[in-house]
Amino acid sequence: MRFARLAPALIAIGCVVATAAADATGPRSITDVRVQLPSLDQVIRVLSLRDYNTAVVVIGVTCLGIASGLIGSFMLLRKRALLGDALSHATLPGVGIAFLVMTAFGAEGKWLPGLLIGGAISGGLGVLGILAITKLTRLTEDAALGIVLSVFFGIGVAVLGVVQKVGGNAAGLESFIYGKTASMLFSDAATIAIAGGAIAMICIALIKELTLLCFDSAFAASQGWPTLLLDTLLMVFVVGVTIIGLQAVGLILMIALLIIPAAAARFWTERLTVMLIGAAVIGGVSGAIGAAISALAPRLPAGAIIVLVAGAAFLFSMICGPTRGVIARAWRLIRLQRRIGRQHLLRAMYELSEEAGANAASFTTEQIHGQRYWAHGELRAAIRAARRAGEIDMADDSRLRLSPRGREAAWRVTRNHRLWELFMVTHADIAPSHVDRDADAVEHVLDPAMVRELEAALSEQYPDLRFPPKLDAGIA
């Protein structure tokens, strides 16, 4: 089974989360892996948000998780998941240059709105750069992302190098990269909450337009929707969320929050609205849990903990998600294979009855086994399934026979098989000796509507489509 191979990763992540939760106080050896749990009192204090600092951090990170979950969903569906990655790296030179410019004009270099504007401008330039590279050259989008990300970050490194040498009160610019989640101020949390709320409102107001853009941008353009404007709006949102989030939680966490909740929510549903809500919930909850854990283990970087919590949510969703999760899809596959096996068994028994005439109605497994190719163990599983479904029963110790319900089902699947064979011969000009294999696969997926269409297509050449004869109870 595929998901079984993921088990080691799950265990590894579990171990790390456990290690991360360990409160490391006092000197300890690096080989010391004891998990030192915080006291119950600490846990209660954090969970009830009684600590002012903890409350601010938890609320701020939760709002950020919700907002980036929403935006991330649209970016994921637009197949631009990594744009946030490139963008957040591209903000660095803007932040550095803004600092230098503000210092040069004698202002306070770390005036936050100024830094944010600088970052937003260079982030926007980065997006323009990506668009220019993909439009003007034959390079693909992944290359454009890589180029913009690394070159802009390089410029940022050079600018920060100058900032360090020039001096000034530059300490803290670094927090744009690592974040300073644990020391988030009330004003930071409030900014995040307001901006996140505004972005969520606009997303909800424009949900129809954005949905159309994500699923069929060409159709949206042909219907006269301003797709370029909508795309630009999405980019502006990403820049906005990234800029706000960057200085609060850092670069890697920001990228993770834009990608992971949306990707995790995708496993739970095929509906966009549900996915949006799911992504917002996963983003918000991982933010809250991660912030709470890091409040209990202050030595650990909060951003990293939140990423790991979101990663665990992703892994859980990937394995257990009911619509696209690995288990759900494996289960559907097994059920389909079981149904196919059962139908093969029924048709084999029908064909045996046909050959044997009216005097034989029960067969040994050897007889059935000789009727067609069975994979190892397939026949036994099919017999078990068919007996459970009441389609066959035991005539005596070693012989199987079709029940009335089984006779009806066997007749139907045989008929579907033969209708399809006939259709392939008459309408697809395929040699009669070649049609059995195709029909073998198709017979299982013919629903009543398709059978009616087949009948209509064949009725001109074959007026009497009541073949093959039903097995009447007399035979059995």
Helix 326-356 to helix 378-388 angle (10° resolution) is: 90
Give the C-alpha separation, 55 to 43, whole Å: 13
Residue pointed to by tokens 């066997």? 410
User: Is 266 or 401 the residue whose CB approaches another protein more closely?
Assistant: 266
User: Is 85 or 443 the residue whose CB approaches another protein more closely?
Assistant: 85
DSSP bridge pairs for 400: 363, 394
The one-letter code for the residue type at 90 is A
User: Is 166 or 229 the residue whose CB approaches another protein more closely?
Assistant: 166
User: Is 104 or 336 the residue whose CB approaches another protein more closely?
Assistant: 104
User: Is 30 or 40 the residue whose CB approaches another protein more closely?
Assistant: 30
Reported residue count of the chain is 476
The one-letter code for the residue type at 196 is G
DSSP bridge pairs for 399: 364
Q: How far is the CB of 317 from another protein (least distance, A)?
A: 9
Q: How far is the CB of 401 from another protein (least distance, A)?
A: 42
Closest CA to 50 of 58, 38, 62, 61: 58
Closest CA to 64 of 177, 172, 191, 180: 191
User: Is 158 or 394 the residue whose CB approaches another protein more closely?
Assistant: 158
Q: How far apart are the first and last CA of the chain?
A: 41
Beta strands in 267-420 (DSSP E): 362-364, 392-394, 399-402
DSSP bridge pairs for 402: 392
Give the C-alpha separation, 277 to 435, whole Å: 48
Q: How far is the CB of 375 from another protein (least distance, A)?
A: 23
User: Is 159 or 193 the residue whose CB approaches another protein more closely?
Assistant: 159
Mind giving me the DSSP string for 92-150? HHHHHHHHHHHHHTTS-TT-HHHHHHHHHHHHHHHHHHHHHHHHHSS--HHHHHHHHHH
Q: How far is the CB of 313 from another protein (least distance, A)?
A: 11
Q: How far is the CB of 152 from another protein (least distance, A)?
A: 8
User: Is 216 or 453 the residue whose CB approaches another protein more closely?
Assistant: 216
Q: How far is the CB of 81 from another protein (least distance, A)?
A: 4
Q: How far is the CB of 142 from another protein (least distance, A)?
A: 4
Beta strands in 131-229 (DSSP E): none
Give the C-alpha separation, 255 to 303, whole Å: 11
